[in-house]
Amino acid sequence: MADDEVTVPGATPVRPAGPHRDLAWGRWGDPADATPLPDALGPLLEQALGVRRPGAPVPPLDAARPAPSRLSATARRDLVAIVGDAHLRDDDASRARHARGRSTTDLLRVRAGDLADAPDAVVLPAGHDEVLAILRACAGHRVAVVPFGGGTSVVGGLTPDRDGFAAVVALDLRRMDALLDVDPTSRTATLEPGLRGPDAEALLAPHGLTIGHHPQSFLWATIGGFAAARSSGQASAGYGRFDEMVVRLRVATPTGTLDVGRAPRSAAGPDLRQLVLGSEGAFGVITAVTVAVRPAPAVRAYDGWRFPSFATGTDALRSLAQDGPTPTVLRLSDEAETALNLARPDEIGADGAGGCLAIVGHEGDAADVADRRARTADRLRALGGSPDPDAGPAWEHGRYRGPYLRDALLDAGALVETLETTAFWADLPALYAAVGDALRTTLTDLGTPPVVLTHVSHVYPTGASLYFTVGCAQADDPVAQWRAAKAAANAAILATGASISHHHGVGVDHRDALAEEIGPLGVAVLRATKAALDPDGILNPGVLVP
């Protein structure tokens, strides 16, 4: 099957230069970029958190031994007939690399040698028609299919329910990594799902364009993953969420092709794009994404601002979100996160002023940035802020490094994980208090009192997202320890009327809470959609749909 079969008519696919790189085994990112534990964190781990012993090490990949593959010879033969022998992998290392995502519990299970969720094979299609054929073949053989992009899920999005299936295959989309079309008149670009964030930006750069989507997972996550999980980037205040950028989708399902999005907006019934955005591979496999793009900014400027309290800073962010001027990047750390300098990962433990640190960024042409930056500064001073000249550039330099620090903390014997939620501005103070209290109470009762750090990560005129980072000593069973804390946090989120996720998604971890959030009728709608698009239930079973 030719690689260009799904291209827009008249377009020539363009692919990234260089080979595909895998995420580090059992860790985050590139091993060459691993971050040693800052000296300042040693005393905190021992004295404040009671960390007394190192964590379990990551076993070597060549020692990974998943259970024997359950993929039948007949099913294997049919899949090889579609993709070719070179593009079906069932060696232990390939299967182990596709077991789970990158949540802390995922990483802890790897450290414990638990590869129970490893797929029975990895299949690498070249295009839309091959994906369709794979889905039909797998349905015929009762083989579950897990779409796999960057492998960066942190909510159990890659851990399907095997019950009732003969085998599980990971559908790795790395070969579908082309820029298919650029429409400079409409300012749209059509991309394949396996294209990683940096590669997408590199392919758009010769056109003078950008997507502007930069989540912390940017270096490793994919275009398809951004759409399937409703990703939100660090510059969402200026560019919007990824789902707001998507104007068209092509989706392969076991029952056929779904093409949605004929125009930017339409009154032709409900917007079916919304069935796919956030569907996490449970309804279909995204094979092409058309997004709105913008001129690449000539200038990027990031500033730090201090506020005397989290409440004061939150009010300032709300004022900007509602009344302007609107920066491109806008985030605020609470007192605890600011004191630890977690907003500036390369400077953790450095002495700094107290209060709460906000990062405010502007992107665009030189004149526009200068104007908006000056107006924002005037507004923030009037709202009680004072500039911190070094904080903005420090944040920019370390904006993608947080997950590397988590690896170092797990090595040292700390348990560290994140969760996020979103609510209307009026409900934000109660949400902040309730989730923090739930985490501190649960983990303290387990004998591992935590530090809980929080920041406002994304803002809108009507509300914002809160992002929590939790650290404590690892218990004897750290997976069960975190699950207890996470359950308490989920209960607090639902009790305050907030949403269970802003941008991490649902996966398995939030599935039961989603059922409570949307109610029985909402669950019935999801199940009916699943039945229409995936009647045999082979796509990511157990993920998303309660």
Cα–Cα dist 151/159, whole Å: 11
Phi, psi of 83 (to 5 degrees): -105, -15
Task: Please report, for the chain, the start and end positions of each structural domain, with discontinuous segments joined by +.
Answer: 179-295, 299-398
Structure tokens at 42: 């040693």
Catalytic one of 239, 302, 404, 467: 467
- Put residue 375 in one of left, alpha, beta given phi > 0 → left and psi -120 to 50 → alpha: alpha
What pLDDT sits at residue 2? 37
Tell me the per-residue pLDDT of 291-331, one tens digit each, with 9 for 90 and over.
999 999 999 999 999 999 999 999 999 999 999 999 999 99
Burial of 329 (0-12, 13-18, 19+ CB in 10 A): buried
Architecture per CATH, domain 299-398, reads as 2-Layer Sandwich (3.30)
97, 150 Cβ separation under 8 angstroms: no
What pLDDT sits at residue 344? 55
What pLDDT sits at residue 340? 85
Tell me the per-residue pLDDT of 212-250, one tens digit each, with 9 for 90 and over.
999 999 999 999 999 999 999 999 999 999 999 999 999
What pLDDT sits at residue 38? 82
* Cis peptide preceding 36, ω within 30 of 0: no
Architecture per CATH, domain 179-295, reads as 2-Layer Sandwich (3.30)
400 has catalytic annotation: no
**Which residues in the chain land under pLDDT 50?**
1-10, 351
Phi, psi of 237 (to 5 degrees): -60, -30
Tell me the per-residue pLDDT of 18-71, one tens digit each, with 9 for 90 and over.
889 999 999 999 999 998 888 878 888 988 899 999 999 999 999 999 999 999
Per-residue HEC secondary structure of 468-497 comes to EEEEEECCCCHHHHHHHHHHHHHHHHHHCC
123, 83 Cβ separation under 8 angstroms: yes
What pLDDT sits at residue 11? 63
Cα–Cα dist 58/107, whole Å: 8
pTM: 0.94
Per-residue HEC secondary structure of 402-460 comes to HHHHHHHHHHHCEEEEEEEEEEEHHHHHHHHHHHHHHHHHHHHHCCCCCEEEEEEEEEC
Instruction: Tell me which long-range contacts 377-385 makes (C-beta under 8 A, separation of at least 24).
Output: 377/303, 379/319, 379/320, 379/325, 380/305, 380/316, 380/320, 383/312, 383/315, 383/316, 383/319, 384/307, 384/308, 384/312, 384/316, 385/305, 385/306, 385/307, 385/313, 385/316, 385/358
Which are the contacts of 394, defined by CB distance < 8 A and separation ≥ 6? Answer: 304, 344, 346, 347
Phi, psi of 286 (to 5 degrees): -70, 125
SS3 546: coil
Cα–Cα dist 307/315, whole Å: 10
